[in-house]
Amino acid sequence: MAWFKREKKPIENPTPVDERRVRTEGLWIKCSSCRLTIWKKDLEANWEVCPKCEHHFRLDARRRLDLLLDDGRWIEHDADLASSNPLRFTDTKPYEKRLEDARNRLGMKDAIITAEGLLNGRSVICCSMEFGFIGGSMGAVVGEKAARAVERSVAQGQPLIIVSCSGGARMMEGVVSLMQLAKVAAALGRLDAARLPYISVLTDPTTGGVTASYAMLGDLNIAEPGALIGFAGPRVIEQTIRQKLPDGFQRAEFLLDHGFLDAVVPRRDLKPYIARSLDFFLQ
Ligand SMILES: [Zn+2]
């Protein structure tokens, strides 16, 4: 017999470990700027802006339209346009699979919603890009929907607002996505000839081919605080010009200081700011 023996049975768990764990996961989020722990519901109610440091988190395409258009009511156009995978592209996964995953996850066919609604009582065309859909990248569908939205503005005599949130052109559609830059820019030329205002809102991030086309072609180009806005990434630029880039390079405030933007507008002021600008343009 052993010198020491546990005779009593160990204490039994009243419930299995998995069930005892309180579900807190996903209820809280840490601000990536000030490290404050925020209740997700509070963040949502504040349109995804940190209540302490005003850090602007990304807002999805639908909520963006809810923010800008009266009573969160809008009509969506061209919702059924979908990519035909023109290059039959495959990288680590087939492009078709990527599209399918994004569609199932987000319930939308591509990375932009083009909508029509009222902004402080004025009828407008408003487009909103979705970063969650393959990085908000611009392929044939995004380009076509944006171009049609511009044409609709011209045909119906409505001002245009495009909220960009995009990593740039969609690599999986190669040259077909590059063609969209010219197509949307040409449509914007017709909008200009019709003397209708276009307000471009650049949010975090707006880079690559989207910056190189319609995002920088607004009659007003305005951005949200802290938004990353650029064409090529900082590393590529540093290697090309062989110089260290200054702090805050490619952030909205830096671009404003250097004349690339007309204003940096906090999210809570965005709608009244756009409404005032349209009053000014259309008086
Ligand atoms: Zn914060």
Q: What is the pLDDT of residues 141-179, one digit of tens each?
A: 999 999 999 999 999 999 999 999 999 999 999 999 999
Element (H, E) at 101: helix 95-106
State the distance from the centre of ligand 1 to the C-alpha of 250, rounded, in angstroms. 20
State the distance from the centre of ligand 1 to the C-alpha of 34, rounded, in angstroms. 4
Mean pLDDT for the chain overall: 93
State the distance from the centre of ligand 1 to the C-alpha of 38, rounded, in angstroms. 9
State the distance from the centre of ligand 1 to the C-alpha of 227, rounded, in angstroms. 15
How high is the pLDDT of residue 11?
67
Considering the entire predicted model, what is its pTM?
0.89
pLDDT tens-digit readout, 41-51? 999 999 999 99
State the distance from the centre of ligand 1 to the C-alpha of 30, rounded, in angstroms. 8
**In terms of C-beta distances under 8 Å and separation of at least 24 residues, what long-range contacts does 191-196 make, across chains too?**
191/150, 191/153, 191/154, 191/160, 194/154, 194/157, 196/153, 196/154, 196/157, 196/158, 196/159, 196/160
Over residues 229-244, mean pLDDT:
92
What residues does the ion ligand 1 have nearby, CB within 5 Å? 31, 33-34, 36, 50, 52-53, 55
11 DSSP assignment: P
pLDDT bin (cut points 50, 70, 90) of residue 233 is: confident
